[in-house]
Amino acid sequence: MSTEVTCRQSEPRAALKLLPIPVSRRACGIPLVLLAAGLCALPSVVSGYAMTLAVEVMIAGVFASGINLLTGYTGLVSLGQAMFLGLGGYGIAIGTALLGWPLWVSAPVTLVVVAASATVIGAICTRTRGVEFLLITLAFSQMFYGAAIKLRWTNGSDGMTGIPRPDLSLLGVSADSPATFYYYVLAVSVLALLLLWRIVNSPFGSILVGIRENERRMMSMGYAVANYKIGSFALAAIVCAVAGILQSQYTYFVGPDSMSWQMSGEGVLMVIIGGANVIFGPFAGAAIFVVVKQALSLITDEYNLFFGIFFMLVVAFFRGGVLGAINTLIGKLR
Amino acid sequence: MSALEIRNLRKAFGGLQVISDLDLKVPSGQRHAVIGPNGAGKTTLFNIITGWQPPTSGEILIQGIPVQQGRPDLVTRGGLSRSFQKNMLLESVTVLENLRVACQAFHASRHSVFRSCRSFSDVVRKAHDVAEQMHLDNVLHRNVNELSYGQKRQLEVAIALCAEPKILLMDEPAAGTSPDERANLIKLINGLSSELTILLVEHDMDVVFAICDVITVLSYGKVLTTGTKVEIQSNPQVIEAYLGQHHA
Amino acid sequence: MQHFLIQALNGVQLSMLVFLLAVGLTLIFGLMNILNLAHGAFFTMGAYFGLVVANKTGSFWLALLIGPLLPFVAGFVLQFFILQPLAQRGRSTHLDLALLTFGLLFATAGAVEYIYGSAFHSIATPDMLRGRIALLGIEYPLYRLFIIAVGIAIALALVLVIDRTLIGATLRAGVDNREMVTALGININVLFALVFGFGSALAGFAGVVSAPVMSIYSNMGIGIVVTTFVVVVVGGLGNLKGSFYASLIVGMTDTFAQAFLPEAELFAVYALLIVVMIFRPQGLFGAVGRVA
């Protein structure tokens, strides 16, 4: 039952359907301006509930964008990205609550720690590919989840509370106010997106795409592919950790569930729904996901059951994600 | 010093000896073909030369330097580039992007994370040059999956050229091509720099004779004979086994 | 010494349970290149169905015999009507199918929770297997020895079938060259679905077998399935013998770690996984050194 050289290991295409990059500039122009205007004006025109939904969508979007870099662009499908989401939240919780550091110290230190650990974990995980990679990332995140539940100094399964929001008193506002927090999250999300956009259009980004398309050929071209995979893994982890920081600031709380396999699964689903590879895909996926989740929780208590069915349907039928389907439609209409 | 030298190469898969005591010297600038029936060990030989599989014993020297196993990227860096029998292309991007990425492999820009790839115009220029050389300049902006099979084979070889190799290994470049595409490919390969050493595995004798000066015949993992076109064509053992009547 | 021997036997017993799960997973993967992330659901399904049978008939043995039938049917249906058609339509690569089963994992976790709630249940040990037996200077529960025996017996039976019979040869051929086998008149789809069902049934069987020593509860599949994943990766995906040895290694590691370092819990197992991945990413018994 052994395998050999070519056959199952040379999967040149990733599971997730892709759109060619770059996204056309002209197509983005006007809708982008409208979107930006809408986002800035949001707090003044909508209710508190809609605003909290928007915050949730953005945080989920940042998380999904991190996953997208690893999964959509590099083709490494991981079921363990929630470990970095959780590490981000726990990082600032430990930094502020246990070590007494101010936020502007805890946050960067957290990100550095995440980057370092992601490099090590990535170096181990990227030695595998395909389904083995899937399993080993799942195993790693389960390990962190188990640690979070057991460790007493992080309150085990009760989680940690009292996570501080940024001190914006210099600007004369308080991040405890929903509108201010909304703008804070918006600013961070936009920064994250800009960063990702630069990365994806850079030579480094093009190498990641090449690895996804045909890893063996990239090695043949002369690229030390392993290093790039680790780099992608670490960058994705950092972005997920940023989302984790935002998440814990949003709820003033972090718990082991933020590292669960369910959380990883939700992130992957958002990427698949939104269409991997397109820079706005993860946010679109996050929006659809958050709305569906809210709707489901109103109808039924059996979230897992319906979510699972929804997940299966999306994987089976939405090969390009929603944005992919729209793009195909636009292509057909032209 | 030969461009490529293989000494005492042996490769066994379990009990099956696929290559035994293979010696080969390819001087710089030579156009050398390796032929033989299926199972003779040709693709395994290529995989070993390019670092994709380790030999059981023996040495491979590229420009005098031994090949480090398990690192095909270092083999390419050492001056030996390979094209594959089955198209190994970056399928969902354009022809230009395929070539650009290939040309970027040894360029300092490959470490850049923030600048746009298009801003490195010398890499893009190089990609255009290779495309011109391989007559792909009119399909540069097409996606790979829109190309004809023959064009894909051209791209397959073009990508290998982007590494500016001293030695080019081609694994059945004409595999599956139509007669027109084959003739076109032969013309393109013959148009390459005469300083480039070429090692070719091919089944199609027309292609072999059109491109190569020296031919090595493999049989059951061993070298049967090495010689010029003429010598091989008139060697009775070879004729009997591999060339068939009409080349006699 | 006595304590050590007891732990060693406990380790082997756990290994056998994990092996029953791992073998189904790895068999399915090796033959069909499908990774069923929801494999734990069949474990749970078998246990609950066995519980129903045991409660209705009062017989453990009937539960053991009939319990695995539900997972068998479920597995067959999943493969034949869902996974196979998707794979054949070319819409889904192996990775897609693995993700699909991930969704199934969510769904089954939810379904089990919904149907059974979070209460704990159990099946009583059959009379014939109650009590302890004197062995090598210790007294060890007879039922646990039974589990060990069953595991070894199934391992031997599988090796015999896969290596020595026509069915086994057909399966191996089907993985290598599906079209060829179909052209020979064998309905490979039915065959694969049967194997999928069989692998799932093994998991269900493990569920029933484990019931007298472990509790039956809605999340029972999750805990053991992560250990199973570790076993399958350490043993080399698709490698039957590998999964047997890996089950032993992982089972013993887990048991001894829990006995002597209770804080460590699953960490020892994960540490093992990490070490193996660093030195042999293809698994201890997997195909040697692919470069890419």
Give the ipTM of the model, two decimals please: 0.90
Residue B197 to residue C9: CA distance in whole angstroms:
65
Contact across the interface for B51 and C289, Cβ inside 8 Å = no
Q: Which C positions 24-63 lie with beta carbon below 8 A of chain A?
A: 29-31, 33, 35, 37
Q: Is residue A256 part of a domain?
A: yes
Contact across the interface for C105 and A308, Cβ inside 8 Å = yes
- Helix (H), strand (E), coil (C) string for chain C: CHHHHHHHHHHHHHHHHHHHHHHHHHHHHHHHCCCCCCHHHHHHHHHHHHHHHHHHHCCHHHHHHHCCHHHHHHHHHHHHHHHHHHHHCCCCCHHHHHHHHHHHHHHHHHHHHHHHCCCCECCCCCHHHCCEEEECCEEEEHHHHHHHHHHHHHHHHHHHHHHHCHHHHHHHHHHHCHHHHHHCCCCHHHHHHHHHHHHHHHHHHHHHHHCCCCCECCCHHHHHHHHHHHHHHHHCCCCHHHHHHHHHHHHHHHHHHHHHCCCCCCHHHHHHHHHHHHHCCCCCCCCCCCCC
What CA–CA distances, in Å, run from B246 to A29, A84, B175, B202, B243?
65, 67, 21, 18, 8
Contact across the interface for C287 and A2, Cβ inside 8 Å = yes
- Helix (H), strand (E), coil (C) string for A319-332: CCHHHHHHHHHHHH
Instruction: Look at the domain C2-279 and name its fold.
Output: ABC transporter involved in vitamin B12 uptake, BtuC (1.10.3470)
Beta bridge partners of B219: B222
Q: What would the pLDDT profile of A121-178 be if each residue is shown by its tens digit?
A: 999 999 888 888 888 898 899 889 988 888 888 888 888 888 888 877 777 777 788 8
- Chain B residue numbers touching C291 (CB-CB < 8 A): 51-53, 70, 72
Nearest CB partner across the interface for C102, out of A10, A79, A310: A79
- Entry field: residues in chain B: 248
Q: Are A282 and A266 in contact (CB under 8 A)?
A: no
Q: Which one-letter amino acid corresponds to residue C269?
A: V
**pLDDT given for residue A219 in this prediction:** 94
Q: What would the pLDDT profile of A74-124 be if each residue is shown by its tens digit?
A: 989 898 999 999 999 999 999 988 888 888 889 999 999 999 999 999 999
Residue C68 to residue C47: CA distance in whole angstroms:
8
Q: Are A75 and A203 in contact (CB under 8 A)?
A: no
Beta bridge partners of B214: B32, B228
Best of A312, A314, A317, A319 to disrupt the C interface (most C CBs within 10 Å) is A312
Contact across the interface for C226 and A15, Cβ inside 8 Å = no
- Over its C-alpha atoms, chain C yields an Rg (Å, rounded) of 19
Q: Is residue A216 part of a domain?
A: yes
- CB-count burial class (<10 Å; 0-12, 13-18, 19+) for C22: buried
- Domain tally, chain B: 1
Q: What is the CATH classification number for the domain harbouring B133?
A: 3.40.50.300
Q: Is residue A166 part of a domain?
A: yes
Q: What would the pLDDT profile of B138-195 be if each residue is shown by its tens digit?
A: 999 999 989 999 899 999 999 999 999 999 999 999 888 888 888 988 999 999 888 9
Contact across the interface for A302 and C110, Cβ inside 8 Å = yes
**Residue A18 clears pLDDT 80, i.e. is over it:** no
Q: What would the pLDDT profile of B90-116 be if each residue is shown by its tens digit?
A: 988 999 999 999 999 999 888 888 888
**pLDDT given for residue B244 in this prediction:** 52
- Chains B, C: CB contacts under 8 A, how many? 9
- Chains A, B: CB contacts under 8 A, how many? 100
**pLDDT given for residue C177 in this prediction:** 66
Full residue range of the structural domain in which residue B68 is found: 4-247
**Residue A21 clears pLDDT 70, i.e. is over it:** no
Q: What would the pLDDT profile of A258-313 be if each residue is shown by its tens digit?
A: 999 889 989 988 888 887 656 788 998 999 899 888 888 887 777 778 888 888 88
Contact across the interface for A214 and B72, Cβ inside 8 Å = no
* CB proximity list for A38: less than 8 A, separation 6 or greater: none
Question: Which chains touch B (3+ CB pairs under 8 A)?
Answer: A, C
- Chain A residue numbers touching B91 (CB-CB < 8 A): 12-13, 213-214
Average pLDDT, chain A: 82
Full residue range of the structural domain in which residue A58 is found: 48-260
Q: Are A140 and A125 in contact (CB under 8 A)?
A: yes
> Phi and psi at residue A101, in whole multiples of 5°?
-80, 150
Nearest CB partner across the interface for B88, out of A201, A214, A224: A214
What CA–CA distances, in Å, run from B241 to B35, B219, B224?
11, 9, 11
Q: Which C positions 230-289 lie with beta carbon below 8 A of chain B?
A: 289
C155 and A CB contact within 8 Å: no
- CB-count burial class (<10 Å; 0-12, 13-18, 19+) for A309: middle
Q: Is residue A157 part of a domain?
A: yes
**pLDDT given for residue A324 in this prediction:** 57
As a whole-number percent, the residues of chain A with pLDDT over 70 amount to 84
Q: Is residue A26 part of a domain?
A: no
Residue A239 to residue A258: CA distance in whole angstroms:
15
- Chain A residue numbers touching B107 (CB-CB < 8 A): 203
The angle at the Cα of C77, spanning C72 to C79, to the nearest 5 degrees, equals 95
Q: Which one-letter amino acid corresponds to residue B165?
A: P
Other CB atoms closer than 10 Å to residue A43's CB: what's the count? Answer: 20
